[in-house]
Chains A and B, each alone.
Chain A
Amino acid sequence: MRLDVVLRVVTKLLLPFIIVFGFYVQFHGELGPGGGFQAGVIIGACVILYAIMFGLENAMRVLSVTAVEKMISLGVLLYLGTGFAGMVMGGEFLNYSVLEHDPVHGQHLGITLIELGVLITVAGTMIAIFYAFAGRGR
């Protein structure tokens, strides 16, 4: 139990930094290594760590099973939506250059949006699988 306290305190200290690092990887992915997939895994691992340390019920209160399952499809929908937005604005499917007046800005916007979609789907899937596994053991 004494060890447990150390782990809990360290986890509490680390969690915010892990989340910030996850978002750093997400939004800095255009400049340095990283992107939606890696960031999604980091964010997912963050919730999994919380669930391991503080119990599944507490984690599910932060992020319920329904919310996680919706995240999985929301990410794909965001990705597809960005693709179709390109079509509506007069380009091809997944052509981001038409999203704004300046093609380079459009590319930025498009890449940010689809990376966000990847992040949401990946994080949701990781957490959902972990919930499913951990929920079975009881």
Chain B
Amino acid sequence: MYKVKVENVSKIYDINRNRIQKILSLLTFGTLYKAKPFYALRDIDFEVNSGDTVGILGLNGSGKTTLSDLIAEATVPSKGKIHINGRTSLIAISAGLNNELTGEENIKIKCLMHGLSEKTIEERYDDILEFSELGEFIKQPIKNYSSGMKSRLGFAIAIHTDPDILIVDEALSVGDETFANKCIDRMRDFQKEGKTIFFVSHATGQIRQFCNKAVWVQYGEMKQFGDMKDVVKNYAEFVSQYKNLSHDEQIEYKDKMVEEQMEKSQKLKLPKEHINMSDLAISGVLFLFMLFGIFFQIYSL
């Protein structure tokens, strides 16, 4: 039984910045509009079982964060489907905290939003506080926190919301080593409980430490998915090759790849939106009703 199944998923961004066309699209419900699609992710397809820890590898701008957002259900794929059995929790650097509120209030808000009851929050509050190592600072507003403190709090909250699937998006790179190790220990506990973890990184070090599978994303496409050792080996080979290039060659390579990504994007069409006829009919009826209301008001003046 799979835990997360990513089925031919693509994430398309529209990079058409023509304002007039955008307004036209808005008014005509997308019928009079020429999109300029750009595939941030294209045909990603893999399946992960419970107990797996998956590393998501890739260079900057390859689509790692897009993929992790999709798995966390924070965004929706443009094409394809993601099936998830269970609750997800995404840990990204300082994301999703309200800067005006204190750490304490943020813990409560975030836990409430994750669907925990007040009683459960009360019970877990001390654990969260202890894990975050914030001590007295928990009464301070988040805006006074350092980036390490924020990520500690974010991590502490996320692991206490009983996720079945934990997604860690480079969140460990901000904290110091002792905290990172503590998080890794905690993730090992999760592994033992048979939970699924996704671990996003551009470096292979931490992925080598505790992942058993890996996905390599390269300019929006899935280069490889499988056993961690194979993927990491190939990725490391690629990176060392890439590093050996001179600075100009590196930029040239990047430009070439992005251009290719663009070109491939142009050939594919955005999924057509279908207009729901019954909704259109209802809005027509309601529009007529509104006109009736307006005319009745004019008449009765």
Judge: A and B partners, yes or no.
no
B interface vs A, CB < 8 Å? none
